[in-house]
Structure 1
Amino acid sequence: MADLSITYLVLAHESVSRVTRLVDKLLLEDTNGQVIVHYDKKSGKAPYERLSDYYANEPRCHVLLNRVRCGWGQWSLVEATLRMLRYAQASYKTDYYYLLSEYCYPTQPLSALKEHLKKHRGTNFIECENSRWIKGGIREDRYLYRHFLNKRKYPRLHRWTYKWQKWLGLKRKLPDGLTIRFGSQWWCLTQEVIEHVLVLEPYYQSFFRWVWIPDECFFSSLVFSKSEVNSNLLTFYQFNVSGAAVYLDSIVSNKYFFYRKRR
């Protein structure tokens, strides 16, 4: 069977050493893999330049120049991912795209991941769940009302604008043909599905731009019903009661190929 190619998309915003630790591991163990890094524009010019200089002579690592300032819970995180995907689409083709953060790290050799993807070639690994997937806070109201502000930066204004819309009955209608589904953003998707998402994105961006935490529903919603989906994710993560990813002390199963936030 022909070898399988993976492009690893890395969302980064903090530690250059943490990013290089992950990327070096990916490049070493997957000798035909490509890596694209989006380093949050608001995190400063100096660390971005250190990262760019570090991989300046590595043709399989692309530190994205066209960056966006990211805000937690906002469209900018989806836009950062889309920019990495558009860059890849304009440069080459790949079998799979695997979205990671700088806090992710392999639990197994990447050769095991590639064998798993070969065995399930064509399957998309992404959660496409209903709103019960959300453990705390608002559910349907995440997308039925517009969320203009960064909740962490402006918590009172964020809450006030949401309640104001509810009082005035400004509930939104879903675009035709769209079913909202939720799931972790740490997915692994095929070239075919990514092409499908990039075709649909311009039609749905105006809706998802004001969704609260769109990175947990944008890709899941657009992938839903498109093709075979396996909701058994390849990256292990765990949320606390507040909905934040927490650090892990151990891995609970060898069915995962990456963990998120392990000490």
Structure 2
Amino acid sequence: MCLNVTFLILAHDSVTRVCRLVEKILREDPDCKIVVHFDKKSGDEKYNVLKKKLSKYERCHVLANRISCGWGQWSLVEATLKMLRYAQQTCKADYYYLLSEHCYPTQPLSELKKHLSHHYGTNFIECEDSSWIKGGIREDRYLYWHFLNKRKYPSLHRWTYKCQKWLGLKRRVPDGLTIKFGSQWWCLTQEAIDFVLDREPRYRSFFKWVWIPDECFFSSVVALDKETSKPLTYYEFNEKGMPKVWSGVVHQQGFFFVRKYV
């Protein structure tokens, strides 16, 4: 079976790293398309350099409509949704593979396409209960409102959270929805993407104030209707929830990308 993959890349820092990943993917998969979102918070200078460098590749699209992304906030999900909506107009595919600029292939992409063809229709995304979370709060990520960027306002973020707990201001999970967790680096079918985009407006107001919604929004919505399998991007977290950093040649059986790669 000959299928098409659109790769979605969330980027925020290194023009060199993004170009390395884009060029690697385009070289190994002659049929794929790529959509890149470069964090607006990183400024126009890097963005303009990146757009110029990638403009020679017809199959690579760098979004002009960017948003400022805050770690642990809805903006990361919104940036992903922007790429998906753009892809529905210009880069429609059988599968959509979400990556960051810190991801890198561990196998030839021809092997990825063989795997997707063999398991066509499967959605590769984690949909786990809260025990998936290595450190910090678990259910409280969604049972209380998280209005502020924790990295920017750590004390105020903690104070507003503790005040809500003291006052008993728990939120209600939308009817019929079970919150699931997992890595945001998934590979989903067109059918699953259609399902997510159709239901996103219904759940936006809830997930907008969840702490780290990129680790539960897609997992929770996809789990409503789709069967899933393990993700295809390999990662490791330590007991404090910090990701392991990789360099050089990486081989992980059953995976096709690794994160974080330098």
The TM-score bracket by the shorter chain reads over 0.9
Name the residue aligned to 2:233.
235
Cα deviation for residue 251 of structure 1 reads 3.7
Q: 1:122, 1:228 within 8 Å by CA — same for their partners in 2?
A: no
Q: 2:127 — aligned with what? A: 128
Q: Deviations over 1:108-165 (max 9, x none)?
A: 1000000000000000000000001011111100000000011111110000000011
- Identity rate of aligned residues, in percent? 66
Provide the residue aligned with 1:33 in structure 2. Answer: 32
Partner of 2:128: helix, strand, or coil? Answer: coil
Q: Does 1:260 align with 2:259?
A: yes
**For residues 85 and 242 of structure 2, what CA distance do their matches in structure 1 show?**
28
Kindly report which structure 2 residues correspond to 1:103-252, keeping only aligned pairs within 5 A, or say none.
103-230=102-229, 232-248=230-246, 251=250
1:66 aligned counterpart, secondary structure: coil
Query: Per-residue deviation at 1:79?
Result: 0.4
Q: How many residues align?
A: 261
In the alignment, what sits opposite 2:74?
75
d(CA) in 2 for partners of 1:209 and 1:242? Answer: 25
Match of 1:16 in 2: 15
Displacement of 1:205 = 0.5
Q: CA deviation at 1:252?
A: 5.7
In structure 1, what residue type is equivalent to 2:130? S
Equivalent runs, 1:43-58 vs 2, <5 Å = 43-58=42-57
Q: Which runs of 5+ in 2 are unaligned?
A: none
1 CA distance for matches of 2:196 and 2:37? 19
Kept in 1: contact 2:235–2:258 (CA 8 A): yes
Supply the distance in 1 between the matched residues of 2:221 and 2:259 (Cα, whole angstroms): 24
RMSD: 1.1
SS in 1 for 2:6: strand
Secondary structure in structure 1 of the residue aligned to 2:10 = strand
Question: Take 1:113 and 1:19, find their aligned partners in 2: how far apart are those partners?
Answer: 20
CA distance in 1, matches of 2:61, 2:189: 20
- The amino acid that maps onto 1:53 is K
The CA distance in 2 between the partners of 1:51 and 1:242, in whole Å, is 33
Gaps of 5+ in 1: none
Q: CA, structure 1 residues 92+100, in 2 after alignment: closer, same or farther (shift >3 Å)?
A: closer
CA distance, structure 1, for counterparts of residue 40 and residue 7 of structure 2: 20
Q: What SS does structure 1 have at the residue aligned with 2:58?
A: coil
- TM-score, normalised relative to structure 2: 0.97
Change (3 A) 1:252 1:34: closer
What is the distance in 1 between the residues matched to 2:101 and 2:73?
19
